Amino acid sequence: MTPISRSALIRRGTAASIALLVIFLAAWEWGPRLLGIPSFIVPPASAVYAEFIRMLSVNHLLFHTGVTAAEVIAGFILGSLLGAVFGYLLGMSPTAEFALSPYILALQIAPKVAFAPLFIMWMGFTVYPKILVAILIVFFPVMVNVLTAIRGIDPDLINLARSFTASRAQIFWKIEFPSSMPPLFASLRIGATLAVVGVVVGELVGGNFGLGYLLTFGEGQANTPMVFVCILMLTLIGGIAYLAVIWLEQRVLHYVPARPLGGL
């Protein structure tokens, strides 16, 4: 793609996006009233905004958002690290992969969010069970992608390094590790959004802090705008985490040919 058509694409695309946002907000504000939907089912945008302002002072919204964000970050980083390490270890040892694969598969099939009540029984109403659910849920896509990447490396590439008398460690750091970067980042994008799911489920199940707690609190009071505010804040956390991964990806994978709009 030429730089001119690329910049034109960005200009036109941005304008269309902003137009869509305006249309969406207008539809949200006036649509329910026009269709006769009561505001306790779909509150208009202005009511949700008013609730947001109210929650900032009355419900310590920023505190709860901060707790949830911190749990997401901790769960995402630990889950990714653990997933990557296991992916590399299993990728380098076919025996270990063969021996462990039934158990890994079983754990992968088990719905991770179902572990949340168990973790809360073990660790109480603390931040730890929430982080643990996030770790578990982020772990698998990262591990599977890294494992597949290591397995998929062209054996001739490994032979090339071997013919240069490379040691096992050199083969890993010069060939295998960099080869795994694109699939690793693809899984980190997925992991960034999954971490939010894990944390919220943990908070929904038990505890008295975090956006998941506010969600159930709002539900209990039949406060629809509060539920909407929580959903928006959770989306914001997930979005920022996703953008952070993309920011890092563009720095690490700078050698990959440019895709339109950085492949959002």
Using rule CB under 8 A, residue 162 touches another protein: yes
Smallest gap, in angstroms, from Cβ of residue 176 to another protein?
11
* C-beta closer to another protein: residue 36 or 257: 257
Using rule CB under 8 A, residue 169 touches another protein: no
Among 178, 260, 262, 263, contact with another protein (rule: CB under 8 A) = 178
Exposure string over 19-54, b if 16+ CB within 10 A, otherwise e = eeeeeeeeebeeebeeeeeeeeebbbbebbbebbee
Among 5, 93, 101, 159, contact with another protein (rule: CB under 8 A) = 159
Question: How big is the site for another protein, counted in residues (CB under 8 A)?
Answer: 20
Neighbouring residues of 226: CB distance < 8 A, sequence distance ≥ 6: 51, 55, 59, 214, 217, 218
Using rule CB under 8 A, residue 7 touches another protein: no
DSSP-assigned states of every residue in 66-86: HHHHHHHHHHHHHHHHHHHHH
The contact mask relative to another protein for 201-240 (x = CB under 8 A, - = no) is: ----------------------------------------
**Rounded CA gap, 61 and 97, in Å?**
45
CB contact at 8 A, 204 and 215:
yes
| Among 116, 131, 136, 157, CA closest to 68 | 131
Report residue 46 as tokens: 């202005």
Smallest gap, in angstroms, from Cβ of residue 96 to another protein?
22
**DSSP single-letter state for residue 42:** S
Using rule CB under 8 A, residue 163 touches another protein: yes
Among 161, 190, 231, 236, contact with another protein (rule: CB under 8 A) = 161
Using rule CB under 8 A, residue 256 touches another protein: yes
Using rule CB under 8 A, residue 186 touches another protein: no
CB contact at 8 A, 35 and 166:
no
Coil vs helix vs strand at 229 = helix
Using rule CB under 8 A, residue 262 touches another protein: no
Using rule CB under 8 A, residue 50 touches another protein: no
**Rounded CA gap, 104 and 73, in Å?**
24
* C-beta closer to another protein: residue 67 or 146: 146
Among 78, 89, 100, 181, contact with another protein (rule: CB under 8 A) = 181
Using rule CB under 8 A, residue 81 touches another protein: no
Coil vs helix vs strand at 2 = coil
Using rule CB under 8 A, residue 24 touches another protein: no
- Interface residues with another protein (CB under 8 A)? 154, 156-157, 159-166, 170, 174-175, 178, 181, 253, 255-257
